[in-house]
Structure 1
Amino acid sequence: MIDCDNKKINNLQLPQKDIEKERAALESFIKSDRTVRELKRAIAVRMAIKGKLYHEISKIWRVSKIFIGYWKKQFKTKGIAGIRLGHKGSKGALTSLHKTEVIEGLKNKEYWDFDEGVTYLEREFGVSHKSKQSYYELLSLAKIVWKKTQKIHPKSEPELVKKEGIN
């Protein structure tokens, strides 16, 4: 629980009943499973609310005074939502259902030509990746090795090893 008197926390300029609610929400937020960035923001805000000086908080957390003021203001205006990370990552090109369908299809087929796989994704799901890495990740999820292979391992034939100079 935040150990502060109402004068200090009221520098948030909230009605009395909202102060208690926000204090409890902040404590709950800090105790929950948060990212390091969110936790740093929340603890810096809590310290500022408790009356700790910005330059002390700045030294402890190695953040700027502007950082502290900014996140305190975000908390004041938006509550806990203001401290949360805003960026949630980009939306994948394939839905999880479609991705599962593609992976199962990859597993069920004996041989895939890379271009055939690209065409399949475009035709069936309207997905075209800019980078080959996205296709490689699908193959990896399907546990398919896409590296070039040889029919016979050269190390299994000692004469070929000597001839090729393979160690």
Structure 2
Amino acid sequence: MDNPLIKQQEEYNRITDLVNLIKSNPDPRELKRALAIKMSIERQSDEIITQILGVSKSFIRDWKKAFKAEGIAGIKLGYQGAKGKLTSEQRIEIIEWLKNKDYWHLDELMNHLEDKYDVVYKSKQSYYDLFEQGRVSWKRSQKVNPKFDEDLVKKKRTEINNFLAKHKTEIELGKMVVVFIDECHLLGGDVCGYVWGETNARIEVPIKNEKDRQTYFGALNYQTLIVYH
């Protein structure tokens, strides 16, 4: 049977080692790992830890697991990724990690490789290659109105088609004029830029309204196709 006093002493020694590592002015990567573990032991929430240290929740989980299994040796540099490059298995993990994300940032990928695998590439092209294998490419984002409702559009389209069919004779005889009105905006700026996104997916940025613009209205006669400004 395990002696609870011995287990308590072992846990105390592990935490002491952790505190000593923090005080020793270690490599920033080791320090970040140690601080995340210590804050978690002190019952700080993952949300607070991620905000203060700028790490992900998976970062906290992975290094807590390594510390529990190997003690202070588990979070020292060289414990993972000692060769400075990804193994085939690690590369597959990274590709899956990229595929399961909704948004991508180069800095996040760089930090993820350094924090979890202790890998830092000299050339950014190596990171771009990972993005490409994960079917993520550099493309221009497109704005989209979050209030757009496809069902309402279909309903309105049906109403218009029914109206035109009902009054077809009057329109053709010139007794009724149907005019379609639209507007265009000259914008003073463009909020959309280039971002990382899935190769075959459109990157949309929700925009309800844009400032600094001038609006012009125009109309189209449904029967004669004459345009009015």
TM bucket normalised to smaller: 0.3 to 0.5
> What TM-score results when the alignment is normalised by the length of structure 2?
0.32
> What TM-score results when the alignment is normalised by the length of structure 1?
0.43
Which structure shows the higher strand fraction? 2
Larger radius of gyration: 2
